[in-house]
Chains A and B, each alone.
Chain A
Amino acid sequence: MGTSSQSTINSATESVLAVGGYTKNAETLSATGWSLVTPGTLPVTVNGHCSAVVNATATIMIGGYQNNLVSGNSYILSNSSGTWTAGPKLITKRVYHTCAKIITNKTANVYGVIVVGGNTGKISIASVEVLKKGATAFVLGKALPVGMFYSSLFEDPSGGVILLNGVTDTGLTFCISQ
């Protein structure tokens, strides 16, 4: 099932961040409950987007319906200042996609963010985009065998990522690992 809002868990800080969901704001979970991220809010309302931890100090929100339009824009939240700044744009605008932090260079232990699948608002998307550490633009990764949205993405304990479930244009639901 696709999400209206998106959560990310920063393993470095062990904090949960809930982003958007037909709103411009985000909130974090502490031992005493949820509190809004301040002072910043997103410049747009978002739903059907994805979010991923970039590093211990930043989280990225990517694509989705932004002010009710399918978007490829991304915004990066500084955990320290609580402000959002515009990030790189996706090559393909998409909603109901999924994303996660992945390792892009095992030798150097370098991480990036991968964006997988989704929907144009009309048809499902097979393309995969990767934002490597320090890069200012997304690049294409290895595409899915079929367009799929409403999926979940996990880092595979043995390497790579696992795409769990998803819906194709023909209504099929299945699991892919890569």
Chain B
Amino acid sequence: MANLVSNSTYVIDLTSSTSTCSALPQLPISNYGGFAALDGSGAPIVCGGLTTLGALSSVCYALVSGAWTNYFNLTTGR
């Protein structure tokens, strides 16, 4: 299973059948295998994953005012 590492993210409006993916700002890092969620304020966050060097990351970023900013880091790289 080949992995193409990218730092691109997109948002999709599931309530519209005609919507297309809208590109978000590129992430500051190119980790892969991490996860994404919405925090309590509704902000998209991305966390963890493997770095291009193969190390587990504990770093999280939140999308605030159209830019990825540092967020609470995980307690554990995952």
Chain A positions near chain B (C-beta within 8 angstroms): 1-7, 9, 14-16, 18, 20-23, 25, 27, 29-36, 47, 96, 119, 149-150, 154, 156-157, 162, 164, 167, 171
Q: Which residues of B contact A171 (CB under 8 A)?
A: 2
Contact A16 B39 (CB under 8 A): yes
> Could you mark each residue 33-62 of chain B with 1 if its beta carbon is under 8 Å from any beta carbon of chain A, else 0?
111111110000101111000001000100
Contact B32 A6 (CB under 8 A): no
Instruction: Known contacts A22-B56, A119-B1, A156-B14; decide if A4 and B39 are in contact (CB<8 Å).
Output: no
Q: Which residue of B lies closest to A156 (CB)?
A: B14
Contact B73 A4 (CB under 8 A): no
Contact A35 B75 (CB under 8 A): yes
Interface size class of B (residues with CB under 8 A): 20 to 34
> How many angstroms between the C-alpha atoms of A23 and B60 in the bound complex?
17
Contact A162 B14 (CB under 8 A): yes
Q: Which residues of A contact B14 (CB under 8 A)?
A: 154, 156-157, 162
Q: List 7 A-B contacts (CB under 8 A).
A: A3-B33, A3-B35, A16-B38, A18-B35, A18-B37, A30-B40, A156-B14
> How many angstroms between the C-alpha atoms of A47 and B48 in the bound complex?
12
Residue B15 at the chain A interface, CB threshold 8 Å: yes
Q: Which residues of A contact B47 (CB under 8 A)?
A: 5, 7, 18
Instruction: Known contacts A1-B33, A22-B56; decide if A29 and B39 are in contact (CB<8 Å).
Output: yes
